[in-house]
Structure 1
């Protein structure tokens, strides 16, 4: 059985039918080719014992449990495809257990810390003097307000086309992973910060002609994730927040955690974050558990 051809067919299916991103396809390719090279006779014809031996070898070589789980997930998807296409009469991964791994809780910020960060950004945007400083302050204020209001991935945020902000300022239509579109509402403060940024942006001819909401003189034509992350850490330091605990991704987690703490439904948060699978959003179940404990303690007649 030609494993290389089967892997190519699987990757074509993932791209065409499921809209898998290039990074996802590259990861699948690496994991499947690695397994195929390690298993005698190739991956496509492997049995359960062959795959188990391969995973044991991966573990013995010191790969982290998360890496082991990712490799097994790729292999499972591959054999599901072969079975569905009639290229295998069985699925040898059905009896394999996933490696145990801890579930690290996402780093986040308290509501008070987030408030301090946003207040500082608003203050700097209102007080900025010279033109260059003013543009940078207005842009950073718009970025942090929109990020906390929407929970966008940082790549989605910095790469937003300007057209999303010109349709209706109550919400953005965002194209995320797998080219899927979703609607994210903007808060009142985020709308105000965005209007101020758009007005300043229109005053700069080079910016006004850019197709991006946050233009920059970079290869991509828009603000890079690295520059935004650096500016965000600077804002955190000026807000009295530990720089090590903040990043754009931490603000995305804060958005989700604070929604759940205040009564939002997990499915709604899943849609807002753009998670294809509810299991991805379930890293926040600890927030729900804390909320339920608080609910019982506050309202149950026999609670101490």
Structure 2
């Protein structure tokens, strides 16, 4: 079966335009499947049946793999056998009747706009650290970056005149608009705090810690939790809460879902769809609360 893999990988890369991480995931998933089938005496792609694949899915579930991991494995096997069938390497596609386990969509935790405002007011403007933290929080909320992307921003990634910031994720670069509040906070940080934090050191990272080195995820998370406590926010909060809040507030206020998808760097619009569903849920709740004949 594995002799098909080189051509399948070429197909994923050249025709499906899959990222390196996606290709790696397919390879890992399929290698695990090949080993299982080989252990059952199934050596050829043509010998694979829906029964043997369902046995493999049950094996994954019994081994304690999460529903999302099992679902991803099913997607990998479907892509592989669909490719083999399309290239006439097999007479039947054994995955045609295979279904992935249902994944319940978890509604992400988000802050209200009032909570975000309170939290953004917590960092002190009288210390270099506070000025830096204010700029980081404003940029995080303004762009929806992941914290790993935030701490990786370089000096040249910020364009004040055209009002955008370049975000570097694992796969590609994204250009995200820079709002007025974030722009003001960043300019104040560069004018009043960054050189003080660098302590004479040279560095190209936009945000640096109190020793003049690049910020860490753990350091930023610790600061965020302290500001949330001061703001009286009782919900458990992480840097990703800001990302969810950014997206939810954009959609609530009428932003196009495709634009939000682009800013978040989601490869699939269905991942972004949850924010539209959240917004619709709020509208339904308001309707039921306010309309005299809703109940």
Q: TM-score, normalised by structure 1?
A: 0.81
Distance 1:230 1:293 in 2: 36
2:115 — aligned with what?
A: 113
Alpha carbons of 1:157 and 1:19: their partners in 2 closer, same or farther (altered >3 Å)?
Answer: farther
Alpha carbons of 1:148 and 1:95: their partners in 2 closer, same or farther (altered >3 Å)?
Answer: same
SS at match of 1:183: strand
Q: Find 2:247's aligned residue among 239, 244, 256.
A: 256
Distance 2:156 2:113 in 1: 31
Residues 141-195 of structure 1: CA deviation (Å, up to 9, x unaligned): 111100101111222211112101246361113233422x332112211001111
1:20 — aligned with what?
A: 19
Where structure 1 has 5 or more consecutive residues not aligned to the other structure, the ranges are 129-133
1:75 — aligned with what?
A: 77
Distance 1:195 1:10 in 2: 49
1:94 — aligned with what?
A: 96
2:52 — aligned with what?
A: 50
Please give the root-mean-square deviation of Cα atoms over the aligned residues, in Å.
3.1
Alpha carbons of 1:138 and 1:208: their partners in 2 closer, same or farther (altered >3 Å)?
Answer: farther
2:190 — aligned with what?
A: 198
1:187 — aligned with what?
A: 179
Distance 1:263 1:207 in 2: 46
2:156 — aligned with what?
A: 163
Q: Is the 8 A contact 1:182 1:272 kept in 2?
A: yes
1:131 — aligned with what?
A: none
SS at match of 1:120: coil
The offset of 1:251, in angstroms, is 0.5
Q: Find 2:142's aligned residue among 142, 149, 155.
A: 149
Distance 2:221 2:231 in 1: 15
Q: Find 2:30's aligned residue among 29, 32, 39.
A: 32
Q: Is the 8 A contact 1:207 1:215 kept in 2?
A: no
The offset of 1:139, in angstroms, is 1.9
Q: Is the 8 A contact 1:19 1:178 kept in 2?
A: no
Q: Is the 8 A contact 1:184 1:272 kept in 2?
A: yes
Q: Is the 8 A contact 1:214 1:223 kept in 2?
A: yes
1:280 paired to 2:271: yes
Q: Is the 8 A contact 1:297 1:303 kept in 2?
A: yes
1:223 paired to 2:215: yes
1:140 paired to 2:139: no
2:284 — aligned with what?
A: 293
Q: TM-score, normalised by structure 2?
A: 0.83
SS at match of 2:122: helix
Q: Find 1:232's aligned residue among 213, 224, 230.
A: 224
Alpha carbons of 1:203 and 1:222: their partners in 2 closer, same or farther (altered >3 Å)?
Answer: closer
